[in-house]
A = this chain, B = another copy of it.
Amino acid sequence: MSLVVVGSVAYDAIETPHGKRERTLGGACTYIALSASYFTRANIVAVVGGDFEASDRALLASRNIDLQGLEEVPGKTFFWSGVYSNDMNDRRTLQTDLNVFADFQPKLPASYQDEPYLLLGNIQPALQSDVHRQMKQLRFAGGDTMNYWINDYRAQLVETIRTWDFLLINDSEAKLLAGETNLRKAASKILAMGPNTLVIKRGEYGAMLFRHDTLFMIPGYLLEEVHDPTGAGDCFAGGFVGYLAQQGFDLRNGNIDVQDLHRAVIYGSVMGSFCCEEFGVDRFNTLSRKEIDQRFEEFRRFTAF
- Write the residues of chain A forming the contact surface with B, with a CB cutoff of 8 angstroms: 86-87, 181-185, 202, 205-206, 208, 215-220, 222-226, 259, 262-263, 265-266, 300, 302-305
Verify A208–B216 contact, CB threshold 8 A.
no
Indicate which residue in B218, B222, B224 contacts A219 across the interface (CB closer than 8 Å): B218
Contacts beyond the supplied A182-B223, A218-B303: 18 A-B pairs with Cβ under 8 Å: A86-B181, A182-B224, A182-B226, A184-B224, A185-B224, A205-B205, A205-B219, A208-B219, A215-B302, A216-B305, A217-B219, A217-B222, A217-B302, A217-B303, A259-B305, A262-B304, A266-B305, A303-B303
Verify A222–B215 contact, CB threshold 8 A.
yes
Indicate which residue in B202, B262, B265, B300 contacts A205 across the interface (CB closer than 8 Å): B202
Task: Determine the distance from Cα of A225 to Cα of B206 in the docked complex, in whole angstroms.
Answer: 21
Once A305-B259, A305-B266 are accepted as A-B contacts, the answer to whether A208 and B222 lie under 8 Å apart by CB is yes
Top 5 closest A-B pairs, CB basis? A262-B305, A217-B219, A205-B205, A219-B219, A184-B224
Q: Among A219, A222, A225, find the residue whose CB has the most chain B CB atoms closer than 10 A.
A: A219
List the B side residues contacting A205 at CB < 8 Å.
202, 205-206, 219
List the B side residues contacting A87 at CB < 8 Å.
181
List the B side residues contacting A218 at CB < 8 Å.
219, 303, 305
- Can you name 28 A-B residue pairings with CB atoms under 8 Å? A86-B181, A182-B223, A182-B225, A182-B226, A184-B222, A184-B223, A184-B224, A185-B224, A202-B205, A205-B205, A205-B206, A205-B219, A206-B206, A206-B219, A208-B219, A215-B222, A215-B302, A216-B302, A216-B303, A216-B305, A217-B219, A217-B220, A217-B222, A217-B302, A217-B303, A263-B305, A300-B305, A303-B303
Report the minimum CB–CB distance from A212 to chain B (whole Å). Answer: 15
Task: Determine the distance from Cα of A303 to Cα of B223 in the docked complex, in whole angstroms.
Answer: 20
Q: Which residue of B lies closest to A210 (CB)?
A: B222
Task: Determine the distance from Cα of A300 to Cα of B305 in the docked complex, in whole angstroms.
Answer: 8
Q: Which residue of B lies closest to A223 (CB)?
A: B184
Report the minimum CB–CB distance from A116 to chain B (whole Å). Answer: 23
List the B side residues contacting A220 at CB < 8 Å.
217
List the B side residues contacting A202 at CB < 8 Å.
205
List the B side residues contacting A300 at CB < 8 Å.
305
List the B side residues contacting A86 at CB < 8 Å.
181
Report the minimum CB–CB distance from A236 to chain B (whole Å). Answer: 15
Task: Determine the distance from Cα of A1 to Cα of B205 in the docked complex, in whole angstroms.
Answer: 35
Task: Determine the distance from Cα of A86 to Cα of B224 in the docked complex, in whole angstroms.
Answer: 33
Q: Which residue of B lies closest to A298 (CB)?
A: B215
Q: Among A202, A206, A226, A262, find the residue whose CB has the most chain B CB atoms closer than 10 A.
A: A206
List the B side residues contacting A266 at CB < 8 Å.
305
List the B side residues contacting A305 at CB < 8 Å.
216, 218, 259, 262-263, 265-266, 300
Task: Determine the distance from Cα of A181 to Cα of B181 in the docked complex, in whole angstroms.
Answer: 28
Task: Determine the distance from Cα of A259 to Cα of B303 in the docked complex, in whole angstroms.
Answer: 11
